[in-house]
Chains A and B, each alone.
Chain A
Amino acid sequence: MRMNRWLLGAAAAAIGLSAASPVWAAAGDECVKILGYEWSGEKQSMDPADMHSGDDAYHTFAVYNRLVDVDDNFNLKPELATEWSVSGDGLTWTFKLRPGVKFHSGKDFTSADVVYSFKRLLDEKTGSGARAVLAFLDPEGIKAPDPMTVTFTTPKPVVELPVLITNKFTNIVPDGAKAADLRLKEDGTGPFMQEQFTPNAPVRILRKNPNYWDAGKPKAECLKITVAQEAVSAIAAMKAGQVDLMLNVDPSVIGSVKDDPNVQLLETGASNSMTISMWVDTAPFDNPKVREALKLVVDRQAMVDTVLLGFGETAADNPVPVSNPASYVKEAPKQDIEKAKALLAEAGYKDGLKFDLYTAEGVPGMVRMAQVYAEMAKAAGIEINVIVTPAESFWDDVWLKKPIVTSAWSMRPPGEGLAVAYTQNAKWKETHWERPDYDALLLKANTTADEGERNKLFQQTGQLLAAEGGVILPMFVHQVLALRKGCDGYAPLAQNFNLNFENLSCK
């Protein structure tokens, strides 16, 4: 008897404790709750020059602005700059700045802030990854002729300069801001202001900027940003209504929310490529026929369907999506096993070809891509031994160190995407592709002002890479996000660091 009462008491206590009662409101409960998936941990920073992982973008892109913004097709939209133009010789770009903008500290925004921000990124002592990306800029060429004008003068014409200076690092900070201060406390011009932020703390709260230059925005009163790296607990939180916007739904759990009436799935455009990259100077990949055969064995649609569960698009062995006007084809190549066999026979591999393919789950789905590829290649008599290595050390120890690996690249504008791994002086020469004619073609494209002409040159460059290069690029990934029913106004962008919460609101 006594025992039973005991049990009852314990059960009652447990229920009382766990009962979800809104009376116990937590800090930030009234906010729009955003759940991220990348985690910077102790390196989390409010300084836009840091931007170590997507995690830092969750807050930096809410509290800062850049000069211009880009959409998924790299069309420009005004942000802190209202208009821009280039001089006749193509060497000097002039940006007119938006008047009446204030930093969160109350300081007026002027051209000095822009000059300081860019010079800081280019300074070796800042130690920012931006320095490499912005190498085309000359720090001495960044000038402020008047408080509302900034000019960028480069040694060589950079026709896509407004796009190229719009990357994850180039949010504008006030003149003289120190890295040590910015890391902990932002001072931006953006739609939200820091309310609660400590590096490596589980919760960030950002409050609406009442003086935001874009009147009527942001729509949300505040944002509560958290991160969960376990796909199952993240999706459980989403389904239980504990989260409003989930920035990435892992492919493994998409099925469980697909038919949930309380959850709306959002899909981006081409967000990153997935590749199989081989060294063109190492046997057997030094034979162009072998490379062509290795590209022909891929059934690209089947790959999108099995590896990405349909959340992606087929691609044509170069970093420009087929829907882009700079793409050399409008449709991805088809699988052709017979032709691949014939090419292999011509190359002297009549009895088949055998090699090791190194991979790791460095990007979700990468291991599966390698396995699916190995299956597809079997039909042409190619025997691929897939070697799975630890994801933690893949980019340090395997990538760029083995002759054939899986890889992935985030979305870049054509001029940058075609350059980043494939020019002779590229930092990450993952295919050992060194072709002066390719570089010349790309340079010509990157310095041609006329858009139609430029796209034609990009097409030729992409075609050269697809036909002879060492990269199999079968598909682009689409990111999948989830929005709770009752929330509205979030348009996901393919560049996954480019987050815009201005129109997001929840009932």
Chain B
Amino acid sequence: MQIWLLIVRRIVLSAVTLLLVSAFVFSVLEVLPGDVATRILGRDATPEALQVLREQLGLNQSAMIRYIHWLGGLLTGNLGRSLVSSRSVSEILAPRIFNTLALSIYAFLLYLPLTVIPAVVQALKRDMAADHVLSVVTLVLLSMPDFLLATILLLAFVLWIPVLPAISLVDETSSYVEYLRAMTLPAATLAIVMAVYAVRMLRDNLIEVLDSDYVRMAELKGLSRGRVLLRHALPNALVPTLNVTALNLAYLIGGVVVVERVFSYPGFGTLLVDSLQLRDLPVIEATVMIAALVYVSANLVADIAAILLNPRLRTA
């Protein structure tokens, strides 16, 4: 019985967290200098024109009323309309979420071999030239900010080896191959940033596992080197790396903002930056809430899994 209580408590806490995030985001945006009316009119703004526009946009209502309206809409799945274009926020968000999701999946697919292959090579060639070279490479990449890495990849694959587009513009008319080409550089950037830390971790774990008794036992039994590595050592070494991978998934949500910007990729991150500059409150709030929702639900799933797996919590 108690275990369900724990889980319910976690769910309630997550909901409260989201509510706090919503209030926090809303109030922070309230105190930001300048409002959407000044952004729309820019330096052409006159006090009278601003007044007319603010009335049209309903900005002269009190913040509390607008917050309650917004929260009510949010709970019923209505994200509101953009103050700038009056298009519905879900219509604006949908293609961007699709683009970022596609980019994240692509990045994650690149991340797996980028992590496993160097780590396996390093573990097998321990203390040999290949190991040292790869260690240096990962260390250098580890200390490099993502926008710099993005720029270097851009120079390499757009100018020196001209095979990829510098500007990753895709829309609903783009073909599958165009999408892949457009996403390759941003996805590679994200994948490398995520992989470098995981490589170092996996290498050390692999070395430890390869030195263990059961691996030696397997070798003595006469199993092939590859079979020992892939079937026995790697699965065990991967477990601690999974934690890093979970952290990396969280990085993806923030990392895309910078990387998308460098490649002008029309995703969630560029939308957030654009709508912040425009003070388009409903769009900003919706994007931040979705990001928060991803974080909170990922944590919730992890917590519930931990509760179900941990015998001590089970009996507590």
Using a CB–CB cutoff of 8 Å, the interface residues on chain A facing chain B are 2-3, 6-7, 10, 17-20, 24, 26-27, 35, 39, 41-45, 52-53, 124-125, 127, 129, 131-133, 183, 196, 199-203, 226-230, 232-234, 236-237, 239-243, 392-393, 395-397, 427-428
Contact = CB atoms under 8 A, between A and B. Distances in A.
B40 A237 contact: no
Interface in B52-76: 52-53, 56
Contacts of B177: 24
Interface string B266-303: 10000100110110100100000000000000000000
B274 A200 contact: yes
A94 B31 CA distance: 51
A181 B103 CA distance: 34
Contacts, number: 152
A428 B42 CA distance: 12
A471 to B, nearest CB: 16
B226 A2 contact: yes
Contacts of B275: 41-42
B278 A397 contact: no
A132 B46 CA distance: 8
A241 B163 CA distance: 11
12 contacts: A10-B113, A20-B162, A26-B174, A42-B87, A42-B275, A127-B52, A127-B53, A129-B44, A200-B271, A203-B171, A237-B166, A397-B34
Contacts of B164: 18, 20
A230 B258 CA distance: 11
Contacts of B174: 26-27
Contacts of A395: 42-43
A27 B173 contact: yes
Nearest to B110: A14
Interface in B71-109: 82, 84-85, 87, 92
Contacts of A228: 166-167, 264
Interface residues of B, number: 61
B250 interface: no
Contact of A39 (B43, B151, B274): B274
Given A183-B85, A202-B170, A228-B264, 19 more contacts: A3-B226, A10-B117, A17-B180, A17-B181, A18-B157, A27-B173, A41-B274, A41-B277, A42-B280, A43-B40, A45-B85, A52-B42, A129-B44, A202-B264, A228-B167, A233-B166, A236-B154, A241-B162, A396-B33
Contacts of B33: 393, 396-397
Interface of B: 33-34, 38-46, 48-49, 52-53, 56, 82, 84-85, 87, 92, 113, 117, 120-121, 151, 154-155, 157-159, 162-167, 169-171, 173-175, 177-178, 180-181, 184, 226, 261-264, 266, 271, 274-275, 277-278, 280, 283
B277 A392 contact: yes
Give the one of B45, B154, B264 with max A CB within 10 A. Answer: B264
Contacts of B48: 124
A42 B274 contact: yes
Given A52-B40, A129-B42, A129-B49, A233 B167 contact: yes
Q: What 10 A-B pairs are tightest by C-beta distance, nearest first?
A: A129-B44, A237-B166, A41-B274, A396-B34, A236-B166, A202-B169, A43-B84, A202-B266, A42-B84, A393-B33
Contacts of A6: 117
Nearest to B151: A232
Contacts of A227: 264
B38 A242 contact: no
Give the one of A202, A232, A427 with max B CB within 10 A. Answer: A202
Contacts of B117: 3, 6-7, 10
A28 to B, nearest CB: 9
Contacts of B155: 236
Contacts of B45: 129
A131 B46 CA distance: 10
A26 B169 CA distance: 11
Nearest to A28: B173
B122 to A, nearest CB: 13
Contacts of A17: 180-181, 184
Contacts of B181: 17-18, 24
A272 to B, nearest CB: 12
B109 to A, nearest CB: 11
Contacts of A18: 157, 163-164, 181, 184
B226 to A, nearest CB: 5
Nearest to B157: A18
Given A10-B113, A41-B277, A427-B46, A237 B85 contact: no
